[in-house]
Each structure stands twice: as structure tokens, then as C-alpha cells.
Amino acid sequence: MTVDLSVSLGDVSFKNPVFVASGTFGYGTESNDLVDVSQLGAIVTKSITKHPREGNPPPRIVETPSGMINSIGLANIGVDKYIEKMIPVYEKIGTHVITNIAGFSIDDYLHVLEKLESSGGNVCGYEINVSCPNVDTGRMEFSVDPKSTRELTKALRSATKKLLILKLSPNVTDIGEIAAAAVEGGADALSAINTLFGMSIDPATRRPNINTNIGGLSGPSIRPVGIASVYKISKAVDVPVIGIGGITSVKDVIEYLLAGASAVQVGTANFRDAAIATRIINDLGTYCEENDIATICDLIGKVESYD
């Protein structure tokens, strides 16, 4: 039987629901020796900012039980270089590219988005990072406040007709409320979750293991938080949700889809195995064949919840 793995977000159709997450796959071409990126549902780029950024001082990462904490600090080449160096490469990359944008004010985000709009490049949409825990200014300001989230989304919506995705933080009291605010502002879809606050300390030196003391926790240890967040968001709003957090296998993808995700992003696992998302895509086809699922959309939100 032929399985239809395609999914839609806004007006964009993706060949399959498995993307790679922002900050875990560079600009999309670093792993060309190891993986055929054209097989991916989409590539979400590193966060792009108005100006280039060096990022935070080392140490920036540490392994934790079934996870890791990072504090990279949005190191990136800046929007001008991104347009010059990367946008031409995306013409022939063979899959959709979603540019992740970060900023510290509405004007910052608008600046990046407007430049990308006028570049006319092959970018199918934008994922807005309102939830990076690792920068000093504007720390989580947008993602924890429904009003700011709504205003930012509205401003960006008026500047583009392309797919507009807001990436939400789990470090809030009610993620459903923030999700609703983003949808009111005009978001086409929502990504959840970004990293959780995390900290680890070396008992021998009494020093935190990363330079900013607290960083962003990711990896399999946060998967249940991601799944619960997707479940809550999909109950709160009617736009598609992209599930992120600790995906390492096809089973994890199925969990996210059942919880209400229309697509997923593989993150931390890319650091261990740059080809893991493409293997999961193959496994997803096999899973559907073995379970008589003709179209992947049939799984979305089909969790049989307790009353």
C-alpha cells in the first residue's frame, strides 16, 4: 500500500511531518557528508538575528541524564550574511526551509522578516523564536506574556503572507493562553516546545557547568513535557501544532501526532546522529504500512484520552 506522509501547515504542503529543529541542524548544509537533507520534511534554521552574534562565553553545553543543557546565546551570522550566503543555497536544497528569527524587540523581528521578504529567496515561512532562555535582554519577555505575544505576531503577520509559526516556551504557567494569543495575532501554526530552564553544578568546583549558570534543557528527558504541551495547545487552539522535545524514534513521533501535533521537529538527537530524522521518516512509512494507516493525518490528535 502507498502511505501518504504529507501534511499541511497554513498553505504549505510538506512531503512528510518530520523536520529538524532550529539550533540543532545549523543552516542546513553542515551535515551534507552524512545525510541527504532533501528527504527531510523541512529544515528549520538556526535563529537569525538583525546583527551577527558571537554567542555566550564557554562552557556552553553539558550533558545531563537523557538530555543536555545549552547556552549558546543565539550565535549566528546575522540576516545580511544569511541572505547573501545561505538563501542562494536553498534554491537547490530539495526541501522546504523555514527561517527561524530571534530578536529583542518587535522592530528587531520585523527588520529580519522584512529583509527576508524582500530577498525573494526560497524560504517557505518563518518560525519566530520568542522563547530563547539564554540571552540577557528581553529574556522570555514575549513568550511569557500573552499581550506581547499577540502584538509581535500581529506586527509580523502584517509584513508577510508566508507561513508564520510561533515557537513557544514551556516555562510558562499556561501555554494554552500564550498559544491562543499567538493565534489571535495571526499565527498559522505553533511550535512547542523550546527548551526548559535547566541547571547542573559540578560538586568538586561548586561551579555551574555552563557559563550563564542556567541554560536550556533538551533531549529525551523533556519529551513528556513536550507531549503534554502539544496536547494542551491542540485543545486550546485550532491551528496546527508542531511537536518538539526529545524525539529519537518513530514511536516518539507517533506519540506527538496522537497528542495533536501535525508535524514534529527532531532536535538534540541530530547532535548524535545527523541522519536520524531521515531514518525516522523511513520508519514512519513502515509503521504506517504495518498498521494500515493510509495517510499520516489520520493519526493527528487521535489519542484516546481518559474522561
Partner 1 sequence: MIVKKMIAEKGTVLNNEEIAHGIYQMTFSAERICNEEPFPGQFLNICVDDSWEHPLRRPMSIADVNDNQLSIIYKVFGEGTKILSEYKNGYSIDLLGPLGNSFGETEGTTPILIGGGVGLSPIIWFHKVLQTNGVEHKIVVGAQSVNEHFLSHDPEENIYLTTDDGSVGEHGTVMPTVKKICDEVENPKLFSCGPEPMMKAVHLFVNKFDFPCELSVESYMGCATGLCQGCVIERASNSLKEHSYHERYSLVCTDGPIYQAKEIVFS
Output 157 or 279, the one with its CB closest to partner 1: 279
Euclidean distance between CA atoms 45 and 173, whole angstroms:
28
Half-sphere exposure of 264 (CA within 13 A, CB side): 36
Q: Which positions touch partner 1 (CB under 8 A)?
A: 23-26, 30-31, 33-34, 51-55, 57-63, 65-68, 70, 72, 75-78, 81, 219-220, 248, 268-275
Euclidean distance between CA atoms 110 and 119, whole angstroms:
14
132 is catalytic: yes
Question: Which residues, in sequence order, are bridge partners of residue 101?
Answer: 48, 128
Rounded to a whole number of angstroms, the minimum distance from the CB of residue 115 to partner 1 is 15
The C-alpha cell that represents 167 in the structure block? 515557537
Which amino acid is present at 218? Answer: S
Euclidean distance between CA atoms 93 and 41, whole angstroms:
12
Output 18 or 239, the one with its CB closest to partner 1: 18
Output 5 or 43, the one with its CB closest to partner 1: 43
Which amino acid is present at 258? Answer: L
Question: Nearest to residue 242, comparing CAs of 69, 100, 29?
Answer: 100
Reported as type and span, the H/E element at residue 166 is strand 163-167
Output 58 or 120, the one with its CB closest to partner 1: 58
On whether the CB atoms of residues 61 and 210 are closer than 8 A, the answer is: yes
Output 63 or 298, the one with its CB closest to partner 1: 63
Position of cell 508577510?
Answer: 160
Catalytic residues: 132
